[in-house]
A and B are shown apart, each in its own frame.
Chain A
Amino acid sequence: MNTMQPSDSALISLYLAGQESAFALLLERHRSRVFTTILLIVRDEDVAEDLLQDTFIKAIHTLKGGRYSEENKFGSWICRIAHNLAIDAFRRGKRAPHQSLSDNAPLTNKLTVLEESADDAMAREETYARLRELIQELPAAQKEVLLMRHYGDMSFQEIADATGVSINTALGRMRYALINLRKKMAAAPQLYDTSITPFDVAPLCVQRIAS
Chain B
Amino acid sequence: MIQVLPHSTLLRYVYNELPADERREVEEALVHDPELAATCADLLLAQRTLNGIRREPRPETSEAILRYSRTFMAGA
- Tell me whether A61 is interfacial, beta carbon within 8 Å: yes
- Provide the main secondary structure of the chain A interface: helix
- Tell me whether B45 is interfacial, beta carbon within 8 Å: yes
Q: Enumerate chain B residues within 8 angstroms of A151, measured Cβ to Cβ.
A: 54
Tell which of B7, B37, B48, B58 touches A196, judged by Cβ atoms closer than 8 Å: B48
Least CB distance from A176 to B in Å reads 10
The residue of chain B having its C-beta at the shortest distance from the C-beta of A67 within the complex is B74
Interface string of B42-76 (1 = CB under 8 A from A): 11111111111111111001101110111011110
Which A94-132 residues have a C-beta within 8 angstroms of B? 107, 110-112, 124, 128, 131-132
- Tell me whether A193 is interfacial, beta carbon within 8 Å: yes
Contact A193 B56, CB 8 Å, known A61-B72, A156-B17, A168-B8? no
- Tell me whether A64 is interfacial, beta carbon within 8 Å: yes
The residue of chain B having its C-beta at the shortest distance from the C-beta of A54 within the complex is B65
Whether A110 and B56, one on each chain, are in contact in the complex, defined by CB atoms closer than 8 angstroms, is: yes
Contact A64 B64, CB 8 Å, known A155-B17, A182-B42? no
- Provide the main secondary structure of the chain B interface: helix
- How long is the Cα–Cα vector from A208 to B7 in the complex, in angstroms? 17
Whether B49 and A193, one on each chain, are in contact in the complex, defined by CB atoms closer than 8 angstroms, is: yes
- How long is the Cα–Cα vector from A124 to B53 in the complex, in angstroms? 10
Interface string of A63-100 (1 = CB under 8 A from B): 01110000000000000000000000000000000000
Whether B49 and A175, one on each chain, are in contact in the complex, defined by CB atoms closer than 8 angstroms, is: no
Q: Enumerate chain B residues within 8 angstroms of A155, measured Cβ to Cβ.
A: 15, 17
Q: Enumerate chain A residues within 8 angstroms of B51, measured Cβ to Cβ.
A: 150
- How long is the Cα–Cα vector from A31 to B64 in the complex, in angstroms? 13
Which A150-200 residues have a C-beta within 8 angstroms of B? 150-151, 155-156, 168, 171-172, 174-175, 178, 181-182, 185, 191-193, 196, 198, 200
Whether B15 and A156, one on each chain, are in contact in the complex, defined by CB atoms closer than 8 angstroms, is: yes
The residue of chain A having its C-beta at the shortest distance from the C-beta of B76 within the complex is A64
- How long is the Cα–Cα vector from A66 to B56 in the complex, in angstroms? 29
Q: Enumerate chain A residues within 8 angstroms of B31, measured Cβ to Cβ.
A: 205
Interface string of A3-24 (1 = CB under 8 A from B): 0000000000000000010011
When A and B form their complex, which 4 residue pairs have the shortest distance between CB atoms, in order from nearest? A64-B74, A171-B8, A201-B41, A204-B41
